Amino acid sequence: MGIQAKCSFRLFLAPAAVMACLVLATLPAWGELPPVIPRETLFGNPVKTQAQISPNGKMLAYLAPDDKGVMNVWVRTLGQEDDKVVTTDTKRGIRGCWWQQDSEHLLYGQDFKGDENYHVYQTNLKTKNTRDLTPFQGVRAGLFSADPNFPDEIIVPLNIRDRRLNDMYRIDLKNGAVEMDTENPGDVSYFVVDNKFQVRAAQVTLPDGGKEIRVRDDVKSPWRTLQKWGPEEIGWIAGFTPDNTGVYLASSVDANAARLMEVDVATGKSKVVAEDKQYDVGWSLTHPKTHKLEAVTFVRQRTEWTVIDKSLQADFDALRKVRDGDFYVDSRDLADNTWIVRYVVDNAPVATYAYDRASKKATLLFSDRPALEKYKLAKMQPISLQARDGMTIYGYVTLPVGLEPRNLPMVLLVHGGPWLRDVWELNDEVQWLANRGYAVLQINFRGSEGYGKEYLNAGDREWGGKMHDDLIDGKNWAVRQSYADPKQVCIMGGSYGGYATLVGLTFTPDEFVCGVDSFGISNLVTFLRAIPPYWERELTAVYKRVVGDVETEQEFLKSRSPLFKADQIKAPLLIGQGANDPRVKQAESDQIVEAMRKNKKPVEYIVFPDEGHGFARPENRLKFYAAAEPFLAKYLGGRAEPPSEAEKVDDLRK
């Protein structure tokens, strides 16, 4: 959850030296694994990433480590090599930046040690002076809106007045003045700005978990309901039509999957713009200045584009020929002459190109992790399987290079959310595990997003129930395919995936030989009572319907909570936790560790004092994976690169 502009859109060791000091365990004797990929290469900072072209088309901004290894913002003249660092973050690192419309300043978001109270910062390229545009203690800035036709201001959601609610504030980018623009009436989840830079649409989460879309004709007119959806529907506001007479809505009403609809604001009449019967519509591409809708994505087995504006068909045809992989248009100049395009594949680093529309030619700017190019990486294969109740479940399997794909040790890697999904991409965790000799299975269990409302809603009230059954059915599928040794399977994941790991070891203790949990929920009751105030309005109703009512269904929630079955754990567990995590608080990990130790169960517990929900700092990522690697090797028989002095976690163990 970061900050994003409306107009834009997550010292190498020599392989021979690594091999000399490997801890080797009992992998299958047939075949031969490729050289070990150092953890630093996989989990350290990328060399360059997240390129953004300036509105005037002359400059390129990107993120890269400074001379102290901290991710900061760099700029260079497009086509030249005059790169210079322009920000001075000293610890946490900057994870996203956006151009101001004058092409002379950059904006970025940053929180403090993972507390998720993001501030918006502005950096002057000439002076390198940086100022906090939202200098309010304990306040969280949401996704800001920017528009090239209004270059001197942005509109930012801030919870200054009430920590539970976002009001909309207009910020003057010249003098830094912050002024209330639109007050939240008390039930709005988020507001949407039109193409005259006025707040004119809002999405509300209703008490039953449904949604209401409100609009107003202008800022002086009252709000009125445009559409109301039941809690079973998928939908959101995608933006306004160029003339502001309509809105684009993603909506599953009268369909299974969310379609992109154009709805007339005055009459409420709607028409379908793009749809797929099974897959929800994804990202949309609009012209940077006119706001004309041009293309949308559908994430099927891979990401695919549907071109709406046929004048761009030749561009998309040319981009498909540049290289293999799925591509994403990350930014464009205002003249729409140059696009910055990112290519993603499953077994190579991300490559970023500058695409010239006139010549239809793409020029490679950089690879984000060039050191990976010398290693042979594993392929990610889309799969489907039938769950025990007959439902078709989707996912991916990745098999290690060099080993015969039979009876391998396997890691069941569970995604977070749970309203997310695994996708076809280069996944650092997957490549790390495969390189160490493990098959990797990723299951998009029911309740995962992207596959339509029937698939999503099939996860309602199934945390620790059918959602977990899907994971076990996935494991059994891998065994039937002869990919996995049923006695050598570990479950691993973060956030919801951490909860699933704890469920796996408590509800099905004979299925796994070990578990690796990061930021996992152990007690649904305490988790639901600790929702951050800025999510209370939106998520309380959703959790009540989808997970359970913490006020009236505590026994049911406890029955789905690993903490109360901790005495059933047989397999060893490794837990990583951020001390400042506002979503899954440290108490969730503390209490399962306490219960396991009381029952004399094997558990390793590592707490990072400067992290929140996830490992933002590469130093912490490396430490956690350096601890997980020998843990997995001990119980699964893979290979492990010994930890360096910087990766040791003795002082972080609890």
Q: Other C-beta atoms within 10 Å of 243: how many?
A: 9
Mean pLDDT of all residues in 580-598: 96
Find the mean pLDDT for residues 235-241.
Answer: 96
Taking residues 442-468, report their average pLDDT.
Answer: 98
Chain-centroid distance, C-alpha 564: 30
The rounded distance, in Å, linking the Cα atoms of 240 and 291 is: 8
Q: What's the whole-number mean pLDDT along residues 273-288? A: 96
Total count of domains within the chain = 2
pLDDT (tens digit per residue) in 298-324:
999 999 999 999 999 999 999 999 999
Catalytic residue among 105, 147, 581, 589: 581
Confidence of residue 126 (pLDDT cuts 50, 70, 90): very high
Q: Has residue 567 been placed in a domain?
A: yes
Q: What is the pLDDT of residues 485-515, one digit of tens each?
A: 999 999 999 999 999 999 999 999 999 999 9
What is the residue whose two structure tokens read 């020929």?
A: 321
CB hemisphere CA count around 37 (13 angstroms): 29
234-239 contacts at long range (C-beta below 8 A, 24 or more positions apart): 234/258, 234/280, 234/449, 234/452, 234/453, 234/456, 235/211, 236/203, 237/192, 237/201, 237/203, 237/213, 238/284, 239/6, 239/192, 239/284, 239/286, 239/291, 239/293
Which among 105, 415, 468, 613 is annotated as catalytic? 613
pLDDT above 70 coverage of the chain, percent: 95
d(CA 377, CA 430): 10
Burial of 632 (0-12, 13-18, 19+ CB in 10 A): buried
- Residue 194 falls within a domain, yes or no? no
Task: Answer whether residue 221 shows pLDDT above 70.
Answer: yes
Quick: pLDDT tens for 373-403.
999 999 999 999 999 999 999 999 999 999 9
Cβ-contact 98, 166 below 8 angstroms: no
Query: What is the Cβ-side half-sphere exposure of residue 233, based on CA atoms within 13 angstroms?
Result: 21
Model confidence at 114, pLDDT cuts 50, 70, 90, reads confident
Annotation says 102 is catalytic: no
Does 547 map to a domain? no
Q: Tokens 């248009």 label which residue?
A: 329
CB atoms within 10 A of CB 532: 16
Q: Which residues, 6 or more positions from 341, have their beta carbon under 8 angstroms from its beta carbon?
A: 319, 322, 327, 328, 329, 330, 352, 353, 354, 355, 362
Residue 145 is a catalytic residue: no
Which of 162, 184, 206 marks a domain boundary? 184
Q: What is the pLDDT of residues 322-352, one digit of tens each?
A: 999 999 999 999 999 999 999 999 999 999 9
More reliable by pLDDT, 30 or 232: 232
User: Which one of 184, 208, 230 terminates a domain?
Assistant: 184
Q: Cα–Cα distance between 530 and 330 in angstroms, integer?
A: 36
Q: Of the listed 8, 495, 518, 522, which one is catalytic?
A: 495
Residue 254, burial from CB neighbour count under 10 angstroms (0-12, 13-18, 19+): exposed
494 occurs within a structural domain: yes
DSSP per-residue codes, 143-155: --B--TTSTTEEE
Mean pLDDT over all residues of the chain?
93
- Asked if residue 21 has pLDDT above 70, the reply is no
CB environment 455-472: b (16+ within 10 A), e (fewer) = bbbbbbbbbbbbbbbbbb
Other Cβ atoms less than 10 A from the Cβ of 573: the count is 26
Beta bridge partners of 120: 109
Contacts of 10 (CB under 8 A, 6+ apart): none
Interval 178-196 mean pLDDT: 96
91: pLDDT confidence band, cut at 50, 70 and 90? confident
Averaged over 474-487, what is the pLDDT? 98
pLDDT higher than threshold 80 for residue 17: no
pLDDT of residue 540: 87
Any catalytic annotation for residue 119? no
Domain containing residue 75: CATH number = 2.120.10.30
Does residue 113 lie within any of the structural domains? yes
Residues 6+ apart with CB under 8 A from 121: 87, 107, 108, 109, 110, 130, 131, 132, 133
pLDDT confidence band for 25 (50 / 70 / 90): very low
Residue 23 has pLDDT above 90, yes or no: no
Comparing 616 with 478, the larger pLDDT belongs to 478
Q: Residue 443 corresponds to which tokens in the numbers above?
A: 């299951």
Residue 96 placed within a domain: yes
The set of residues, in sequence order, having a beta carbon less than 8 Å from that of 17 and lying 6+ positions away, is: none
Evaluate if residue 208 carries a pLDDT over 80: yes
Look at residue 302 and tell me if it is in a domain.
no
Percent of the chain having pLDDT more than 90? 90
CATH of the domain at 426: 3.40.50.1820
- Helix, strand, or coil here: 15? helix
Euclidean distance between the first and final Cα of the chain, in Å?
28
Higher pLDDT, 18 or 199: 199
Domain that residue 479 falls in:
379-523+561-652
Token pair of 588, please? Answer: 């969730």
DSSP track, 361-410: EEEEEEES-GGGGGS-PPPEEEEEEE-TTS-EEEEEEE--TTS-SSSEEE
pLDDT tier for residue 31 given thresholds of 50, 70 and 90: low
- Say if residue 14's pLDDT is above 70: no
Q: Which of 156, 184, 212 is the last residue of a domain?
A: 184
Q: Is residue 293 part of a domain?
A: no
